[in-house]
Every structure is written in C-alpha cells, then in structure tokens.
Amino acid sequence: MPWKVQTIMETRIEFICEWLTQKYTFTELCKTFEISRPTGYRLIQKDEKYWLEGLREQSRAPQNHPNQTKQFIIDKILSFKAKYPRWGTKKIHRLLFNVCEPEDIPSVVTVHNILAKNGLVCPQKRLRRVKPIYPIFDPQHCNEVWSADYKGKFQMGNKKYCHPLTIADSRSRFLFTAKAHYREAFKAAKEEFTRVFRLYGIPKQIHTDNGSPFGSVRSIQRFTKLSYWFIDLGILPVFSDPAHPEQNGRYERMHRDLKAACALPPAHDLKSQQRRLNKFVKEYNVERPHEALEIETPAVIHTFSNRPFPEKIPSYDYHTHMKVMNVTQNGSVRWKSYYWVYITASLTGRQIAAEEIGNGIYS
C-alpha cells in the first residue's frame, strides 16, 4: 500500500477543519502542522474572507515593476508583427526606433518574450551546420557581383505557371526586380536585364546557377546565349557548382521570403501576380531590415554602378593572322572547306576566330 501524499492545498484545508472543531488549542495545531503562529493566523483570516479560494497558492511576482515595458510599446510590437508576420524579432526591434524614443525601447530579448507571450513566435527546427566543401564568393562592394535566377515555378489561379525572374546585388541584398514570366526564355530575360541595366548600371560579375537560360553543363564553360551577351557588355558570368545551391545561400534565402509572400497562395493571373511581386520588392528593399547589414535596409546600403549600360555593342576586331569563321544555325563552323566542326549553338550567327599555336594545332 503506497504512502499517502497530501498537497499543500489539502494540508491547509485540514488545518482549517481542525481549527473549526475547537478540540485543540491554536498553539497545538500550529505545532502539529509545523507552521508558525503568524502563518496560522494568516490562513484563518484568508479562509474567513475568501473561503477556500483564499487558501490557494498565489503568485509571488510583483504586480508592478519599475522597468516594465510600457503598454503602448507592447501595442507597437504587436502591430508591427501583425503587419509583417514573416519578420523576426531583430527586424521588429529595429522598426521601434522609427516610432518610439530610444530610452523607451526594450532589448531584443524583451521583444522576443513579448511576441512569445502572445503566441507569435514559431520556433524553427535547428539543423546541424555543415562546413561547405566548396568556396563561397563573398563580395565586399556593391555592384561587384549580382545574382540572378528564375525562382521555382508555381501554378496560379488560372492554372498557368508563373516563373519569377529575380536580380539582386550580392553585397547590399538590393533586389532590382522580380518579374513574372510565363516561361524561362532568353528573349524575356534579356529584355528585363536590359531594363535593369539602364536603371542601375552593370556589375562586374553575374552569379547564376546552371539552369536555362543562364547556364548549361553541356556547353563550353557552361556559357549560353545569355552568357555571351553578358560578355559582350563586359560582365563575367560565374556559376554555382551543379547541385550546390548553398554557394549562393543569401540569394536562396531571399527566394524563401518571396515564395512565402507571393506564392502562398498565388494570385489568379500574371498581372495580379506581378503586383504582389512589386509590393514584395518595395518591402524587401525599403522597409525590411537585414541582420547581415547590421539591421539596415538594402536601399540604405546600395549604391549605383559607375559602369553605364552600352546601348551599342562594338564588333570584335581579330588579328589578321587569325582564321575568322561564321557559326551556322546548327552551331558548327566549316573547317578547310570540307569539314564541319561543332562549337556551340549559343554562338549561332556570330564570328569566331582560330589561332594556330604550332604544328597545325589551333586554339
């Protein structure tokens, strides 16, 4: 038979019941229940005033605290979280400096506790960090490297697919555009790149993955028709290694926010979807602080490129000792009048040159 275990509430009720029987003196009761006389008197007073509710354990936390966060600050925190539900604690904390006095703003931990108390914090599963095998390029200046990609397609309300083209600066995280297209095509991508280049200038490098129309693992140096156009403009195309999206992790992180804001759920058609993308670009650049930028916005950090977009691309001048050949529609060149050598379909309609390096070997 197990030992009888009494809770504190049951012990207090038993003490009151024994006191009401008037069989024992107050001193004997306190000695039996191993409590002091002031504690016994306090229990009797609570029972007479509040009945059994007065015997329950009360919170010992102070009702007022000199450093307690003011109510209007708490209301601001909750309103910012309601307006930007996907933003974290540090970004919400940064917005308080725009509407409150600096001495009234609580710490980041206090903001997090306020959000958690109101059920507005969704803890994420922590993944084991693995040191990347391949190096990741980290630009130190704006317009040194831009990133571009087609965010994964998703179906709109009219059952058609949307392919958002995004272009961003890798240093400042400034998002130049998020353009909705029906397909991932060279012509549409070139038109949007041209518009962005005219507004913001051109970078030194453009970092992309190996998908169409940016790169192809089957072509020479992974260059495509769009890559050769970048080279004509004086931009060097660089690519992530196949199956290694973590090499451009900051860009993929932006795509996660874009998907949550614009594709869950998607709009009905491409026009309404573009309005959502435009709203996200404005919020991402002007309103949303970034931890990597010391809680500043990309619009504050970014500077325009000092390399303007060349409206006319000059033709290539080859040395006279080089053999100049035209690339045909099938991506081949004629060699010695009777041989056909396949080069790449990306150079269709262009002229290339071969230079002899010795013993009948050409480069």
> For each of the chain's 363 residues, which pLDDT tens digit applies?
455 566 777 888 888 888 788 888 888 888 888 888 888 888 877 777 777 676 777 777 777 777 788 888 999 999 999 999 888 899 999 999 988 888 889 999 999 999 999 988 877 766 555 454 444 567 889 999 999 999 889 999 999 999 999 999 999 999 999 999 999 999 999 999 999 999 999 999 999 988 889 988 788 888 999 999 999 999 999 988 888 888 888 899 899 999 999 998 999 999 999 999 999 999 999 999 988 888 899 999 999 999 999 999 888 888 888 889 899 988 899 988 788 888 888 888 888 999 888 888 888
- Residue 79's H or E segment, with its range, is helix 71-83
CA pair distance 342, 27, nearest whole angstrom: 108
- Report helix, strand or coil for 326: strand
CA pair distance 230, 225, nearest whole angstrom: 9
The number of CA neighbours under 13 Å toward the Cβ of 60 is: 1
Residue of 174, 149, 155 whose CA lies nearest to 281: 174
CA pair distance 233, 361, nearest whole angstrom: 30
CA pair distance 322, 108, nearest whole angstrom: 66
pLDDT of res. 135: 47
Tokens encoding 32? 């039996």
pLDDT of res. 133: 46
Alpha helices in 172-241 (DSSP H): 186-200, 225-232
pLDDT of res. 7: 76
The number of CA neighbours under 13 Å toward the Cβ of 58 is: 10
pLDDT of res. 127: 55
Which residues are within 8 A (CB) of 301 and not within 5 positions of it... i.e. 6 or more apart?
Answer: 142, 171, 172, 173, 174, 293
Residues listed for the chain:
363
Q: What angle (nearest 5°) sits at the alpha carbon of residue 115, between those of residues 110 and 117? A: 90
pLDDT of res. 356: 86
Beta bridge partners of 290: 296
Sign, CA dihedral 82-88-271-266, equals negative
Provide the whole-model pTM: 0.71
The number of CA neighbours under 13 Å toward the Cβ of 183 is: 3
Tokens encoding 227? 């890559």
CA pair distance 222, 214, nearest whole angstrom: 9
CA pair distance 214, 148, nearest whole angstrom: 9
